[in-house]
Amino acid sequence: MRRIISVLVENEPGALSRIVGLFSQRNYNIETLTVAPTEDATLSRLTVTTSGNPQVIEQITKQLNKLIDVVKLVDLTEGHHVERELMLIKVRASGPLRAEVKRTADIFRGQIVDVTSSVYTIQLTGTQDKLDGFIESIGQAQVLEVVRSGITGIARGEKVLSL
Amino acid sequence: MELLSGADMVVRSLADEGVEYIYGYPGGALLHVYDAIFRQKEVTHILVRHEQAATHMADGYARATGKPGVALVTSGPGATNTITGIATAYMDSIPMVVLSGQVPSGFIGTDMFQEVDMVGISRPIVKHSFLVKKAEDIPEVIRKAFHIAQTGRPGPVVVDIPKDITDLTKKYEYQYPDKVKIRSYNPPAKGHNGQIRKAVELLMKARRPVIYAGGGVVLGQASDLLTELARKLNVPVTNTLNGLGGFPGSDRQFIGMLGMHGSYCANKTMHHSDLILAIGARFDDRVTNNTEKFCPDAKIIHIDIDPASISKTVTADIPIVGPVDTVLENMLRQLDEYQGSQDDAALAEWWASIDSWRERGLFPYEKGEGILKPQQVIESLYQVTKGDAYVTSDVGQHQMFAAQYYRFNKPNRWINSGGLGTMGFGLPAAMGIKLNFPDQDVACVTGEGSIQMNIQELSTCLQYDLNVKIINVNNQALGMVRQWQDMQYDSRYSHSYMESLPDFVKLAESYGHVGMRVTRPEELLPAMEEAFSLKDRLVFMDIQVDPNEHVYPMQIKDGNMCDLWLSKTERT
């Protein structure tokens, strides 16, 4: 089962390698990983998506909590949450396809952020499924390059992950 | 405020932390620090012959005293040589601080001479690590390192110190911090009252309870509380390998070590129990055998300071996260207040079953004719030292025999590498203990395979008068490997025998020690007595034993706890 674990870590050199190392050392999966400093410069927020049975997920959160650099963490998938991923996708757009690509991007609420005579670069945000759906709609043959940020997320409502 | 160089701050911080001895080996990246060591008297440095031994000495000291041991090594190979020692401490939750030299900050990452990414290499086997960035940070980093190493679930901490930071010409204001605050590190101070109440209720109602106590009882200094609890409840107690001594080994309620080479009685008792109180133990594979067949009727109460140890391999019904001592104190208090009584008839019946399993003896073996059995060696060690020695061991058959036949009545006396199973651990660990307890008997039970993995330390022993007794249980084979080859590989002894063994007596003598050889059963006891009467000499006893002996009982792979080989021919 897919899980999104959101972690507040000390913004220290080596903190990320401890977390990533823990996953490989204990044979856990990392499907996506995003990390950036927060509004408090001493903290970074890291979002990792992983999968495993409930025992494995429990171990992952416990082992993460044991790391000295980890301040707090939450399994976002335990409650209501919003999740987003950002994708930049470069698509062939020439001839009759050009209008079709634009139309599809509009349907998916994508934005064209760069244009050449034969290529559109489209920015799209949404859930993993939505981004997958867009690639499918455009058709693999037209896709020149894809870059995705990995999933990030936040709990709905009053719940916050902070110090 | 006093002005000190980075190097002097390192040494002074150790002194202010109360460190008496450090174990180490100098080298380029640490020369400033070694100069600072030379110019002071508070911290005594012990020069080992290999950095691995420095970590094991620190480890042995920590296991015997409960205080963190300290190793000091240079960058590159000095640092990598500590890895086995750090991993050994990590697996058994031993408090240790390893200070490693590093190339100057500006050269990190350039593949400089003797450069290695110590923080990176040690990452999976430390509780935490630091790379010191500025000389001014040294006191605080060292304070934090000691705090982390010895609180919560203890473990090794690495402090990597670039050479430029220890520059003797640059001085800074020095003050050792009294307190340390790490916002992301708050180990639990006590267990959950309600969970403890539920546990007490289960314990009072249990018909076939057993206490399964591990190294956490020893590390958490809770042996007396465990003993009080066990007596109060009249419950049988079994110890893990690392828990031995946590409950008196000669006590009537003690049913022997459990697990792969545990007693028939302990494994039977566990398997048939209806309630297991696990204290500071981690349901390790060498205990449980097949977890799916593990103790089918038992509810499990699990006390541990590390929540990640709970329900890791076997699910706990009542998890209690907290330090063993405060949890047990609370438990004892709640037991006193409990309205109701135990089912005495059920308990009496339970004890009758336990006593019937005990009847065959906890660890029976057959004596040989004209040939020494390894078990006799441990029995005679026990007899001569009156059960009061610090006993370290290496890894293999001799380790299991020592665990089975030396009855430890006090905690912190049995010192072995249980989790990692590090050959070469025994001698340096014994040295670390002897240095700190010069008037106590310290025996290193080893084998001709293990002892050769750190035998160079005989030289350190001479330099510092570390008069340990080395009990070399010599069966001329890697006994445990050979045993598995006998049992599972039709006795094809692939690389499990030791050809070209040195003459250990002459070897000990060449290092300036006393060597003794024992070959016949009747020579054993007098030789052992003589060895321990030579208080001011290291004695290396090379004891020739039956090369064909196996360790029994032995759990049968994939079975339940009490599916056992009881001898070469008999199984349950």
- Does one domain contain both B147 and B262? no
Catalytic site includes residue B114: yes
pLDDT tens profile B145-178: 999 999 999 999 999 999 999 999 999 999 999 9
Average pLDDT over all residues of chain B: 97
What range does the domain containing B119 cover? 3-173
Output the six-digit token pair for B314: 């076997």
Which residues of B sit within 8 Å Cβ distance of A?
Answer: 119-120, 123-124, 127-129, 131, 148, 182-185, 306-308, 311-312, 315
pLDDT confidence of residue B166: 98
According to DSSP, the β-strands at A70-75 and B209-213 are unpaired
**Secondary-structure class of domain A2-79 per CATH:** alpha beta
Catalytic site includes residue B452: no
How far is B14 from B8, CA to CA, in rounded Å? Answer: 10
CATH code that applies to domain A82-152: 3.30.70.1150
How far is B99 from B110, CA to CA, in rounded Å? Answer: 22
pLDDT confidence of residue B466: 98
Decide if A21 touches B, using CB distance below 8 A: yes
Residue tagged active-site, from B40, B42, B113, B509? B113
Say if CB B471 and CB B446 are below 8 A apart: yes
pLDDT tens profile A27-49: 999 999 999 999 999 999 999 99
- From B326, B358, B390, give the residue that closes a domain: B358
User: Is pLDDT above 90 for B1?
Assistant: no
- Please indicate, yes or no, if residue B40 is contained in any of the structural domains: yes
- Does one domain contain both B208 and B163? no
What H or E segment, with its residue span, contains residue B530? helix B521-533
Catalytic site includes residue B383: no
- Please indicate, yes or no, if residue B560 is contained in any of the structural domains: no
- Does one domain contain both B15 and B109? yes
pLDDT confidence of residue B343: 96
- From B129, B145, B173, give the residue that closes a domain: B173
- Does one domain contain both B279 and B427? no
Catalytic site includes residue B163: yes
**How far is B511 from chain A, CA to nearest CA, in Å?**
42
Task: Among A68, A71, A72, pick the best mutation site for testing chain B contact (most B Cβ within 10 A).
Answer: A68
Domain ranges of chain A: 2-79, 82-152
Q: How many domains does chain B have?
A: 3
User: Is pLDDT above 90 for B498?
Assistant: no
Which residues 50-69 of A have a C-beta within 8 angstroms of B? 55, 58-59, 62-63, 65-66, 68-69
Say if CB B48 and CB B57 are below 8 A apart: yes
Chain A nearest-CA residue for B122:
A18
Which residues of A are less than 8 Å from B121 in CB distance?
none
Say if CB B477 and CB B484 are below 8 A apart: no
- Please indicate, yes or no, if residue B482 is contained in any of the structural domains: yes
pLDDT tens profile A97-130: 899 999 999 999 999 999 999 999 999 999 999 9
Give me the CATH number covering residue B529.
3.40.50.970
- Does one domain contain both B147 and B11? yes
Residue A104 contacts by C-beta under 8 Å, 6 or more apart in sequence? A110, A134, A137, A138
Counts for chain B of helices (H) and strands (E), in that order: 21, 22
Catalytic site includes residue B480: yes
- Does one domain contain both B517 and B452? yes
User: Is pLDDT above 90 for B11?
Assistant: yes
- Does one domain contain both B146 and B275? no
As a whole number of Å, the end-to-end CA separation of chain A is 29
Which residues of B are less than 8 Å from A13 in CB distance?
131
pLDDT tens profile B23-72: 999 999 999 999 999 999 999 999 999 999 999 999 999 999 999 999 99
User: Is pLDDT above 90 for B417?
Assistant: yes
- Please indicate, yes or no, if residue B381 is contained in any of the structural domains: yes
pLDDT confidence of residue B499: 84
- Please indicate, yes or no, if residue B405 is contained in any of the structural domains: yes
Predicted confidence band of residue B501 (pLDDT cuts 50, 70, 90): very high
- Please indicate, yes or no, if residue B571 is contained in any of the structural domains: no
Residue B281 contacts by C-beta under 8 Å, 6 or more apart in sequence? B212, B213, B214, B215, B216, B240, B243, B287, B304
Residue tagged active-site, from B20, B67, B107, B114? B114
pLDDT confidence of residue B368: 85
pLDDT tens profile B196-254: 999 999 999 999 999 999 999 999 999 999 999 999 999 999 999 999 999 999 999 99
- Does one domain contain both B423 and B300? no
- Please indicate, yes or no, if residue B415 is contained in any of the structural domains: yes
How far is B35 from A7, CA to CA, in rounded Å? Answer: 44
pLDDT confidence of residue B403: 98
- Does one domain contain both B107 and B224? no
Average pLDDT over all residues of chain A: 96
